[in-house]
Amino acid sequence: MATHHDEEEELNDLKMKHKLHDTEDEDGEEEEEEEEEEDQNWNDWKTDGEEEELEGSKAQLLCLFCDSVYSSCSPLFEHCASAHHFDFNAIKKTHGLDFYKCLKLINYVRYQVAENRCWSCGMTCQSLRDLQNHLHGVVNFEGSMLQWDNDRYLNPILQDDALLYSFAEDEEDEDGDNMSFDPKELVNWNQFEQISIGDEICSDRYVSQLMTPCENVGKEVASASDSGIRAGVEDAVSSFRNENDEQFNVSSAKIVANQIRDINKSYFGSYSSFGIHREMISDKVRTDAYRQAILENPSLIRGAVVMDVGCGTGILSLFAAQGGASRVIAVEASEKMAAVATQIAKDNSLLRSGFPRSSGQHDGVIEVVQGMVEDLDNATHIQPHSVDVLLSEWMGYCLLYESMLSSVLLARDRWLKPGGAILPDTATMFVAGFGKGGTSIPFWENVYGINMSCIGLEEVEDAARNPIVDVIDSCDIITTTQVLQTFDLVTMRSDQMDFTAKVDLEPKLVTPMNNSTGSEPEITWCHGLVLWFETGFTERFCSDMPTILSTSPYNPKTHWSQTILTFREPIAMALVKVTSEKPAAVGTDACPAVNLQSRISIVRAVQHRSIEISMEISGIGPDGRKRNWPAQLFTLN
């Protein structure tokens, strides 16, 4: 390699030749070619240190299923196919996957592996090692929607996942333009959660979810996004990463495990507060429904082995013991509350001592097990498929917040007998439109005779970005009510917690104050959608006394309240056509909508135990014209 001194001399020669080119026209073309050749050599020159730095900066590609690391995609995918039965190239070819669908596939697999779940069949294993032993080829994707074809998998679970921007390069080398894409387009696409579709920037909470590969796609992209994207990405991984740590090549499973552990620690720690338990026990609708389902169904409970998942104070376990259960296994993840539940059972002479009396009978029937359901795979004293009744109060705000349902389903699959009962066994979500009274605007319009409506308008703007958990008065429901989604806890899979549903909402029939036939049709303004749920203790298991626990605004309020999704702007609705001299936009007072077509998606968020809600609204006018409003994104965390 040439020395730096030699290159300086060559550069001086180039400069001299450039001057001669300006004064000697007859030799211009020849010297221009020589200068271009020499200049190219200069640009290609690098010091030994730079070459070593480039060698050390080669991308480290982490296997999707284990800690193996490769420098290029080809050997990585060969390893995945031979060792883990995952043939990326065959799947891509079979299903005709484009770049974005391949990206979703990779993220989807990483998501599943992080939860010890088989990417192909959906089976959840007890450990990563068990998952690796279980892995098998593709099963039954033909003719059905691909499991990874969901926009949530555009978000990487591993922040520094070099594979996401390397697999396309290998394809370009082998297949030409089959997988060609614009790195800048990738940067923009992966900021989709930050776009409100109405040129309105959403909350800063989405910045931390931007893809780290944007930093590495190319020098041009890195320099353009350095000040914005890099700051957000570094904040997002600051709890896991020391930038000066040269050994930062850790697996995605370990990163996610740390995230989940910290969130779970905070989550279960919050349930160590007695105030929360007092609020739940004081919720008469909630507690009475469970008490009735347990105590008024002796044919189900008497003599049964009952498991209470997330027992808290143990009140449901105590009901089961009072109802005649032969054994009650009360599982509680919070160390403090497990101790409290043990003491309460002991104080009520219902704690199982573990030592039988001379008669062979135990002192009590309740045994408290401290730990998460997911961590009890080594609990030898709980035999697989030995539970008659699985009991849990797992519901969160908007039903699915806290994601405790997945723990109940895991307990079902691991310990419930075939044909065993789950209480509750059904859950149903409902949706309806609400009017102005469901917002804070009326309060601020008249505060002791003072107009403070500017505050109400600002609160509505914030509510259009963040869901509100509050009580809606039934008189403020201004549309029909529709079922959004139903769940059968006996048969459902955990991935069915993520869903998209479409419903049509029509304005309620409003009787005019006067009965004259010439009265103007009444226009109501829909300010958003409200969600609630009910759970059923149905005749399938509670044949003696079925029960329903409802959080409807038409019933007595509960601590769950309702979940309110506010529109950016209200939409006018009416049952009949409003006459107008000229065409007007659908949803205005001149052309109120007669129907709102709503498309709502609810998925588990990247942040453990949180959920994300998207809402798309279309208004149908009396003449059949359709108007679409920009989609809105909400995160409940």
402 catalytic? Reply is: yes
At residue 42, φ and ψ (nearest 5 deg) are -65, -40
List all residues 6 or more positions away from 513 whose beta carbon is below 8 Å from its beta carbon: none
SS (H, E, C) 246-295: CCCCCCHHHHHHHHHHHHHHHHHHHCCCHHHHHHHHHCHHHHHHHHHHHH
Active-site hit among 402, 445, 461, 616:
402
List all residues 6 or more positions away from 493 whose beta carbon is below 8 Å from its beta carbon: 122, 409
Active-site hit among 367, 374, 393, 612:
393
CB hemisphere CA count around 490 (13 angstroms): 16
At residue 602, φ and ψ (nearest 5 deg) are -125, 125
Q: What letters, b where the CB count within 10 A reaches 16 and e where it falls short, cover 547-584?
A: bbbbbbbeeeebebbbbbbbbbebbbbbbeebeeeeeb
185 catalytic? Reply is: no
Strand 562-573 vs strand 468-470: parallel, antiparallel, or unpaired? antiparallel
Query: Quick one: how far is CA 164 from the chain centroid?
Result: 20
CA distance 377 to 373: 8
**Of the candidates 300, 306, 310, which has an alpha carbon nearest to the alpha carbon of residue 321?**
306
Q: Is the dihedral of CA 579, 585, 589, 593 positive or negative?
A: positive
Between the CA of residue 599 and those of 51, 192, 498, 513, what are the distances in Å?
54, 18, 14, 34
**Of the candidates 98, 193, 198, 190, which has an alpha carbon nearest to the alpha carbon of residue 148?**
98
Q: What letters, b where the CB count within 10 A reaches 16 and e where it falls short, cover 314-350?
A: bbbbbbbbebebebbbbbbbbeebbebbbebbbeeeb
CA distance 31 to 365: 98
**Of the candidates 136, 158, 138, which has an alpha carbon nearest to the alpha carbon of residue 83?**
136
Q: Is the dihedral of CA 57, 59, 62, 63 positive or negative?
A: negative
Give me the active site residues, please.
393, 402
